[in-house]
Amino acid sequence: MSAATCKIQLYLKTPNTVDSENFKFLCEPSWNENVTTDENGNFEIKGIYLGRETALEYDNPLDVGCSVDTKFKTFLPNIPDQFIDLGVIEISDSGRLDPNTLENLPNKQIAELEGETLTGEKLDWKKYAGKIVLLEFWATWCGSCIKEIPNLKKMYEKYHSQGFEIIGISVDEDLKALEKGLEKYQFTWTVIADRKLADAGKVWLYDRFGIHGVPRGILIDRSGKVVTIETRGDQLEKELEKLIPIAENTEK
């Protein structure tokens, strides 16, 4: 088993613990003697205190680079209230946990992308070939996402004729709220309802790319390669200026 480090905060819910209900540790290099992950996202955990019933959970702070279901394992130890080694724990949904997925995206190719709009239109990823594409993860309930909209519209208007496209990816679970949001903001680009993938039994794009907070933009160049995962505010135009030649970039 490899010792790849997944920067994720894990909690052991131990209601019978004397000192605290939650025994918390951070899975990062300073802890890698206690917790390591393999390429499939399975944990090997050593020297962990277990109460009479222990649930292994995770906290999803910004930029941890991992995504798993909030509660993914419950233990009923034969001999409780002591430190034990759990060994290798296989997570049933380990396909969603790819250590540092988001941070590893730059320079990676996005060969395919699927999704569906609120009205049922399927995303045709092939039509974006040769374009500069921003995958903008957002939600109607996200105040920071809403603040980004004017800048996105400005960039779209300025650079669209030079081949800049935006694909909005809404992570709203409430599709009625998304419908109202689309009516309110009147986007001129395609917006995918990520929940529809989940409803079809597939992994959310949010999880596929290891997104752990919105807004989050993933900028892709004309060759289909991820350029950056940092696109908020002025950073987006700075990146677009690098990708679009000055001659094309000159406003007419």
Q: Choose the weakest-confidence range: 98-107, 117-126, 228-237.
A: 98-107
Residue 51, classed as helix, strand or coil, is coil
pLDDT value at 13 more than 60? no
Q: Choose the weakest-confidence range: 1-5, 46-50, 74-78, 205-209.
A: 1-5
Buried b (16+ CB within 10 A) or exposed e, 178-195: beebbeebebebbbbbbb
Q: What percent of the chain has pLDDT over 90?
A: 46
Average pLDDT, the chain: 75
In order of 69, 178, 189, 211, the CA distances from 171 in angstroms are 15, 9, 16, 10
Contacts of 225 (CB under 8 A, 6+ apart): 107, 108, 109, 110
Listed residue (115, 57, 50) closest to 78, CA to CA: 50
Categorize the per-residue pLDDT at 114 as very low, low, confident or very high, splitting at 50, 70 and 90.
Answer: very high
AA identity, residue 80: P
In order of 113, 124, 131, 164, 231, the CA distances from 127 in angstroms are 11, 6, 9, 13, 23
What end-to-end distance do the CA atoms of the chain give, in Å?
58
| pLDDT tens digit sequence for 127-141 | 999 999 999 999 999
pLDDT at 210: 77
**134 and 167 in contact (C-beta within 8 Å)?**
yes
pLDDT value at 235 more than 80? yes
Residue ranges per structural domain of the chain: 8-96, 102-249
| pLDDT tens digit sequence for 25-58 | 434 334 445 555 555 555 566 665 555 555 565 5
pLDDT value at 111 more than 60? yes
Q: How is domain 102-249 classified at the architecture level of CATH?
A: 3-Layer(aba) Sandwich (3.40)
